[in-house]
Amino acid sequence: MARKPLSRSGRFSGGPDPEVSAYSESVSYDRALAPHDLAGSIAHATMLAKSGLIPARDGARIVSGLRRLAREVKEGRFAWDPVLEDVHMNLEAALTRRVSAGARLHTARSRNDQVATGLRLWTRETCAGLGAAIAQLQAALVRLADRARLSRPSAGLPRGHLLPMPGYTHLQRAQPILAAHHVLAYVEMLERDRARFADCARRAGECPLGAGALAGTGLRIRRALTARLLGFRAPSANSMDAVSDRDFAAEFLFAAALTGVHLSRLAEDLILWSTVEFGFLALPESHTTGSSLMPQKRNPDVAELGRGKTGRLVGNLVALLTVLKGLPLAYNRDLQEDKEPLFDSARTLAATLSVFRGMLDGARFRPEACLRALADPSMLATELAEELVRRGTPFRAAHHAAGAAVRLAEERGVPLDRLSAADWRKAHPLFPSCAKTALDLRRALQRRDAVEGAPGPRQVEARLRVWRRRRAR
């Protein structure tokens, strides 16, 4: 007779159909939970012994056996058996074979609260790791922003000044900004992502152990002790919610998906900036590829792959939400489908954060191209309107007058700053005396220093100092 998994012992006369076993096994992927499952078992055995539910000597033997298993798993020496369904049954079976007292370990515990505990421990650890990886990527972005400076005086700006470049709305040139300001926008996005992972870890901080299958246990266990041993904030408050809750998993996947979306937006900017048409940025050769046909090509494959892998991160979130949406309380086997999306998103995001860090550390802005794109004075049309406002003109009238000046320049076929005095006067009577002042890039940038969060040179330098201090830790 085929060997039966532990979950079928007693109640069933034989093992499951081989096709069912292959269909329902999860040890091929949930073995990733092994360190966390073993940590939970060590805490549970310790609690059982301290509660007097198992002899202290048996508790010590169980803990010793579990620690030996933990070393084998860490060193890759543990032999996984797919017949035993999952990581939990594999480890318990191995313990029971080696330690006679191992049969006592499952006292006052179900696989339902066991897996929920292991998954929460994994989530908390993974959130911390991804938070650290996000911080490292932020540091690379800060370094890129700090490198985006003029190597020689240009456009009335001194050597070492933060590099100006066009800012865009609707993918149309809009107003002058500083390249560092654009790059730091992603640092701010990633800081929110880092905080979301920290918040997810905090919300995963309740311990399900002791909830049993759904109704706890009649044995007098000490749940607060188990929670404390595992570093949880407290035991979960409702046994049914404890075994069926996967909100923390959905939150993790949302945080991963939104981080991926931010990385995808960054990738899109890098891809556009590195084209011949823009030419604002050079990506490192080590993070680009060639063409099998066209010798001249250098393609931004790393950025494109990061943009593409975001689809997996979003899809994993949708997959879990779809699993959860129709489940009655309490535990259902559908919840086995929570792990592969989690593990895949964690691997995908960690790899993307790491490879993007290397790409950004090798990237360099091209000041000449950025300044060339700023040569069109119509990008300072808003400055024209604001100069009129400073002289008492209502904004809507000032906006209309600046638009009229732009239209006249287009009709004349000349740059905006080459309009005649008569044409300036035609757009607005005050323009002949103030247009030159308004259409000055250096002054336009300096005026932004008056507003917090704007791309003024002093504002951006100050924010760079803040982020250098934060990410130097």
Amino acid 272 reads L
Q: Is 21 a catalytic residue?
A: no
The active-site residue, picked from 9, 13, 170, 292, is 170
Residues contacting 460, CB < 8 A, separation 6+: 162, 178, 180, 181, 184
Q: Which two tokens stand for residue 43?
A: 């805490």
Residue 392: strand, helix, or coil: coil
Burial (0-12, 13-18, 19+ Cβ within 10 Å), 292: exposed
Q: Is 420 a catalytic residue?
A: no
Residues contacting 104, CB < 8 A, separation 6+: 48, 54, 58, 62
Q: How is 154-223 classified by DSSP, letter by letter? A: BTTB-TTPBPEEEEEETTEEEEEEEHHHHHHHHHHHHHHHHHHHHHHHHHT-EE-TT-TTTT--SS---H
Question: Bridge partners of 178?
Answer: 164
Rounded to whole angstroms, the Cα distance separating 221 from 38 reads: 19
Tally Cβ neighbours within 10 Å of residue 205.
17
Tally Cβ neighbours within 10 Å of residue 78.
16
The active-site residue, picked from 291, 354, 420, 433, is 291
Residues contacting 411, CB < 8 A, separation 6+: none
Which residues are marked as active site?
170, 291
